[in-house]
Amino acid sequence: MSQRQVLQVFEQYQRDRTKFIQTVAELAGRPQHIETLQNAGVMSLLRPLLLDIVPTIQHTAALALGRLANYNEDLAEAIVKGDILPQLVYSLAEQNRFYKKSAAFVLRAVSRHSPSLAQSVVDCGALDALVICLEEFDAEVKESAAWAIGYIAAHNGELSQAVVDAGAVPLLVMCIQEPEVSLKSIAASALSDISKHSPELAQTVVDSGAIAHLSQMTLNPNAKLKRQVFSALSQIAKHSVDLAEMVVEAEIFPSVLACLKDQDSYVQKNIAILIREIAKHTPELSQLIVNAGGVAAVVDYIGETRGNIRLPGVMMLGYVAAHAENLAMAVIVSKGASQLAIVLCEEEEDHMQAAAAWSLGQIGRHTPEHAKAIAQTNVLPKLLQMYLNPASSEDLQVKCKKALKNILQKCVHLEALEPLLYDAPPNILKHVIGQFSKVLPNDSKARRLFMTSGGLKKVQEIKAEPGSVLSEYINIINNCYPEEVIKYYSPGYSETLLEKVENFNVVTTDPSLAYSHSESAGNSLSHSQTICSTLVV
Amino acid sequence: MAAKSRLLKNTIEFLSEIIYDERNEAEKKRIAELDALEKAEAEKKMRRRTEAAIIIQKHWRGYVGRKYYKECLLKYFRQISLKHYNSMATKIQKVWRGNWIRQHVYNYYKRQEYFQALAEKNEIMLIRLQEFRDERRRVQYEMARTIQRRHQNELVRKYHHLVSTKAIPGIYNSPYSPADSRDLFLKSAKFRVSPLSKKRKQMSFNKKCEKMLDSIKNLPNVPKQQGPFQDPKKVHFQRYKPPRQTLRMETDFYHLEKARKAMMDKEWTHRLHDDLFLPVKNRASQYKANMQNMSVYIPLGQITYRENDPSFNVDKKDFQLVLSPIPFFDEFQEKMEELKLEKCAKLTENVMSS
């Protein structure tokens, strides 16, 4: 045998290994093959290949493992149980960049499934290795390391704290400043994941100077980057007033409002979330957004989008209106109320309707002027209908009831209140009648209108328990009208009149007189009606 | 006489008794009268004193009462006036506060002005946003058009062989129908020179190939093939692809060691951390060799693979076990080794006996 033949054996072996691992990696990319691969025991075969002498085989094996772990939680757990992670972490520090990329991919795939798996990744010391990878020159390595770090931090506060303790935040902030857009966006998403858990974590992100760099990227044309940037900013701003003010001081308003018109709907949603998180803290911050024309922009964006995308915008209007009376008025002036009414009618899902109802309640609860503006959008019957609909969720019912109560307690716009008299349940009717009882004693025109439109008749038909609040209100209303009118409108009046006729003693003996008298008594109903109508007129 | 004297004596006695009684009576009355007189005197005196005391007390009480009354009156007056002043102060404060708040906080006109300004600002904002969106749309539309044009151009380039020439009319250029726009469209094809090929041209290696190609082009009496059949870029790439080495040559056998050394060198020069990374979990136990590698060496002279007993491959245990996770094997590895050794010994015995 010549030397060449001997070497050929090795070459053959290496070629076959490479082919095997490449095929497995390719197959692992398709979900339909994964079960077969798993049954064939791919895990135990991949492990030795991770230690192969050929770097290509090593990183392809890592790639295959990553794809398997990405598929479902069981496979990820199998990797953890197979003691593969320490090996990966160990070699992460000393292998080439392709291997680092694939290893980081495996760590990401494992830690993405559940907090316990992420914790086991952290326990292997992966964070330190990943943080070292963030210092690598190669952008792709940094990218996959940042990605893995983001996935670990996304689960809960403790894991995020571990990430922060490993010193990842300053390096992630460095990554944001790199020229590669994908690296930027992944680093931004990792920062968002870190800062979403608690104010302290958000504060560490802010302390490392992330906001200045994030705010510079708000006008970047890349949609994916913008999504992550806005999500990071909103996660920072959501915790406290101080953090929200820090975000605002980066002078993002009013330029970011332009992003509400972005082509990408998730950018729109994230910027709306950012505005909402800032506005919800204090009246001053809300005022700032209102003065920057933010409310008009949000209303416009609500009008253009559908479904979940516009949910944060709807809530933002509610938050702004909840702070103060003039802010609520600003929302009304910016046509927010009518837009919310449209949302309430258009949307089918309960949570959207609930949000819209809540926001409307927040706007209408301040003064009669506000309540009138809400009532004029003809939203009260719709709210009542949602409240009474047994198909609507409990949350929606509660929100509708609260909104109705808030608005009704301030509403003196009687035209809008009158339809509610006919189909409101007693607990709502109480407020409606209460408003009437407040207005009618002081307004003669309204009294007349109330009587002619049949409202008074309806009020007489209500059966209120004596001594209750409702009966008190009814009494107040009844006291505004002469007694005959009340009698006339109370149910069963015709019967009492007929009874009167029956029991009437004819006094006169003169037949002609008696005849005329009985005739007049028989027609007393119509007679009294004419009296009443003359009264009314 | 005796009788007389006795009588006298009796009479005297009797008289003296009477006189004594009278005297007694008179004395008694005198004392009583004296007492009564004294009493009357005392009473009179007492009455005068009482009257005097009453007069004194009357005046004193009147004086004190008047004093107290004055004080009360003053107090009451003070209260009344305080109330009055307070109410006046409240009135002043009410008016002033109302005025102030209407001027500075709830100024109706300012409020109205603010909302008007806000509405105007909103209008401007919406217009700006619309402009922004239009601009973005325009840019996107332009981009889409450029891409579409590029695709079209590629298509035209691909189907350029269908164009009509002076000699032969193309398939879109029927002599029976008026001129087709598609033919004109095909004529508009622009061929570009791949930037890749430009680069390659500069390389000395490709010069030889080019020369060779030129020589092929210049061959006489060979009809030129019509139409580019593949993407020219692909063709270029295929044509100027550098020679591919074998897999063995591609990866050095000592690549790992070399790479490690290179990396260590790099690490030495580019070191950022002085503390090298150490994994948390250090393994105390030695690395154990893989199950698949463990086999007993049997000299080739004694046994050939063809003569192998088929039962060697048939194990009583499930084959699945081989593929089960590693920790399982880690536990039972030694046991398995023993089993295997036994089996091999049996096998050799069988072979020897046969």
pLDDT tens-digit profile of B147-164? 999 998 888 888 888 888
User: Dihedral of the CA atoms A225, A228, A229, A233 (nearest 10)?
Assistant: 170
How many CA atoms lie within 13 Å of B49's alpha carbon, on the beta-carbon side?
6
Taking the domains of chain B in order of start, what are their residue ranges?
Answer: 10-106, 107-165+178-189
pLDDT category of residue A231 using cuts at 50, 70 and 90: very high
pLDDT digits (tens, 9 = 90+) for A427-439: 888 899 999 998 8
Res A518: pLDDT: 47
Under DSSP, the state recorded for A70 is: H
Q: Are A198 and A239 a contacting pair, CB within 8 Å?
A: yes
Question: Do the chains contact at A125 and B122, CB–CB below 8 Å?
Answer: no
Helix (H, G, I), strand (E, B) or coil at A198: coil
Best of B106, B124, B125 to disrupt the A interface by mutation (most A CBs within 10 Å)?
Answer: B125
What is the chain A residue with the closest CA to B110?
A: A326
pLDDT digits (tens, 9 = 90+) for B302-354: 555 555 565 666 666 655 555 555 666 566 667 777 887 888 788 878 777 76
Among A225, A301, A258, A313, CA closest to B133? A258
Lowest mean pLDDT among B45-54, B64-73, B128-137, B164-173: B164-173
Q: Six-digit token pair at B257?
A: 């060691």
Distance in angstroms (rounded) separating the CA atoms of residues A265 and A306: 10
Question: Do the chains contact at B251 and A56, CB–CB below 8 Å?
Answer: yes
Res A463: pLDDT: 82
Res A521: pLDDT: 46
Q: Which residues contact A433 (CB under 8 A, 6 or more apart)?
A: A421, A459, A462, A470, A473, A474, A477
User: Quick one: average pLDDT of B245-266?
Assistant: 75
Res B321: pLDDT: 52
* Nearest-CA distance A170 → chain B (Å): 15
* Nearest-CA distance B139 → chain A (Å): 11
* Nearest-CA distance A355 → chain B (Å): 24
Q: Are A119 and A163 a contacting pair, CB within 8 Å?
A: no
Res A92: pLDDT: 83
pLDDT digits (tens, 9 = 90+) for A333-372: 999 999 999 999 999 899 999 999 999 999 999 999 999 9
Q: Are A62 and A50 a contacting pair, CB within 8 Å?
A: yes
Q: Which residues contact A486 (CB under 8 A, 6 or more apart)?
A: A456, A460, A478
Chain B environment of A263 (Cβ under 8 Å) = 136-137, 140
Distance in angstroms (rounded) separating the CA atoms of residues B24 and A413: 118
Out of A14, A41, A293, closest to residue B122 by CB? A293
Taking the domains of chain A in order of start, what are their residue ranges?
Answer: 17-166
Q: Which residues contact B329 (CB under 8 A, 6 or more apart)?
A: B291, B336
Res A532: pLDDT: 46
Question: Do the chains contact at B115 and A333, CB–CB below 8 Å?
Answer: yes
Q: Percent of chain A, pLDDT > 70?
A: 94
Res A376: pLDDT: 92
pLDDT digits (tens, 9 = 90+) for A396-427: 999 999 999 999 999 988 888 888 888 888 88
The answer to whether residue A13 neighbours chain B at the CB level (below 8 Å) is no
Out of B255, B277, B324, closest to residue A132 by CB? B277
Distance in angstroms (rounded) separating the CA atoms of residues B239 and B209: 9
Residue A440's CB: how many other CB atoms inside 10 A? Answer: 24
pLDDT digits (tens, 9 = 90+) for A30-86: 989 888 888 888 888 888 888 888 888 988 999 999 999 988 888 898 888 888 888
Residue type, position A92, single letter: L
Distance in angstroms (rounded) separating the CA atoms of residues A444 and A441: 7
Whether omega for the bond prior to residue A254 falls within 30 degrees of 0, making it cis, is yes
Q: Residues of A numbered 237-256 whose beta carbons fall under 8 angstroms of chain B's beta carbons: which are they?
A: 254
* Nearest-CA distance B334 → chain A (Å): 18
Question: Do the chains contact at B272 and A260, CB–CB below 8 Å?
Answer: no
The answer to whether residue A258 neighbours chain B at the CB level (below 8 Å) is yes
| CATH class given for the domain over A17-166 | mainly alpha
Residue type, position A208, single letter: S
Does B226 have pLDDT greater than 60?
Answer: no
What is the chain A residue with the closest CA to B107?
A: A326
Res A520: pLDDT: 47
Question: Do the chains contact at A258 and B126, CB–CB below 8 Å?
Answer: no
User: Quick one: average pLDDT of B14-35?
Assistant: 92
User: Dihedral of the CA atoms A28, A34, A40, A44 (nearest 10)?
Assistant: 60
Res B196: pLDDT: 63
Does B42 have pLDDT greater than 80?
Answer: yes
Distance in angstroms (rounded) separating the CA atoms of residues B132 and B187: 39
Query: Residues for chain B: how many in total?
Result: 354
Out of B119, B130, B273, closest to residue A333 by CB? B119
* Nearest-CA distance A449 → chain B (Å): 31
Question: Do the chains contact at B273 and A132, CB–CB below 8 Å?
Answer: yes
Cα angle, residue A310 at apex, residues A202 and A297 outer, rounded to 5°: 85
pLDDT digits (tens, 9 = 90+) for A253-299: 888 888 888 888 999 999 999 999 999 999 999 999 999 889 999 99
Residue type, position B245, single letter: Q
Question: Do the chains contact at B326 and A135, CB–CB below 8 Å?
Answer: no
Q: Six-digit token pair at B197?
A: 């090929």
Q: Six-digit token pair at B282?
A: 């250090």
What is the chain B residue with the closest CA to A122?
A: B280
Q: How far is CA A475 from the centre of its chain?
A: 44
Q: Are A57 and A19 a contacting pair, CB within 8 Å?
A: no
End-to-end CA distance of chain B, in Å? 213
Under DSSP, the state recorded for A54 is: S
Q: Six-digit token pair at A239?
A: 């915790």
Best of A261, A286, A298, A317 to disrupt the B interface by mutation (most B CBs within 10 Å)?
Answer: A261
Out of B247, B255, B290, closest to residue A55 by CB? B255
Sign of CA dihedral A156, A161, A163, A169: positive
Chain A environment of B256 (Cβ under 8 Å) = 53-55
Among A254, A208, A205, A259, CA closest to A230? A259
pLDDT category of residue A143 using cuts at 50, 70 and 90: very high
Distance in angstroms (rounded) separating the CA atoms of residues A322 and A359: 8
Res B292: pLDDT: 58
Distance in angstroms (rounded) separating the CA atoms of residues A459 and A472: 12
Residue B107's CB: how many other CB atoms inside 10 A? Answer: 13
What are the φ and ψ backbone dihedral angles of A288, each rounded to 5 degrees? -60, -45
Distance in angstroms (rounded) separating the CA atoms of residues A145 and A186: 10
Q: Are A284 and A259 a contacting pair, CB within 8 Å?
A: no
Lowest mean pLDDT among A49-53, A115-119, A126-130, A229-233: A49-53
* Nearest-CA distance B349 → chain A (Å): 31
Mean pLDDT over each residue of chain A, to the nearest integer:
88
Residue type, position A157, single letter: G
The answer to whether residue A286 neighbours chain B at the CB level (below 8 Å) is no
Question: Do the chains contact at A257 and B122, CB–CB below 8 Å?
Answer: no
What is the chain A residue with the closest CA to B273?
A: A132
Q: How far is CA A466 from CA A459, A469, A471, B202, in A?
A: 14, 9, 6, 104
pLDDT category of residue B212 using cuts at 50, 70 and 90: low
pLDDT category of residue B233 using cuts at 50, 70 and 90: confident
DSSP run (H or E) holding B337: helix B326-353
Among A62, A47, A45, CA closest to A96? A62
Residue with tokens 């091999």: B344
3-class DSSP string for B221-287: CCCCCCCCCCCHHHHHHHHCCCCCCCHHHHCCCCHHHHHHHHHHHHHHHCCCCCCCCCCCCCCCCCC
Question: Do the chains contact at B125 and A263, CB–CB below 8 Å?
Answer: no
pLDDT digits (tens, 9 = 90+) for B258-289: 888 888 888 777 766 666 555 555 556 665 65
Question: Do the chains contact at B280 and A123, CB–CB below 8 Å?
Answer: yes
Query: Residues for chain A: how many in total?
Result: 537
Out of B255, B279, B325, closest to residue A125 by CB? B279
Distance in angstroms (rounded) separating the CA atoms of residues B138 and A65: 45
Output A311 or B318, whichever has higher pLDDT.
A311
Best of A50, A334, A369 to disrupt the B interface by mutation (most B CBs within 10 Å)?
Answer: A334
DSSP A254-289: TGGGGGGG-SSHHHHHHHHHHHHHHHTT-HHHHHHH
User: Quick one: average pLDDT of B83-106?
Assistant: 92
Q: Are A317 and A360 a contacting pair, CB within 8 Å?
A: no
Q: Residues of A numbered 38-97 whose beta carbons fall under 8 angstroms of chain B's beta carbons: which are they?
A: 40-41, 43-45, 47-48, 53-56, 78, 81-83, 86, 89-90, 93-94, 96
Lowest mean pLDDT among A20-24, A251-255, A473-477, B266-270: B266-270
Size of interface A-B (CB pairs under 8 A): 113
Chain B environment of A40 (Cβ under 8 Å) = 323
Best of A4, A16, A19, A54 to disrupt the B interface by mutation (most B CBs within 10 Å)?
Answer: A54
Chain B environment of A89 (Cβ under 8 Å) = 279
pTM: 0.67
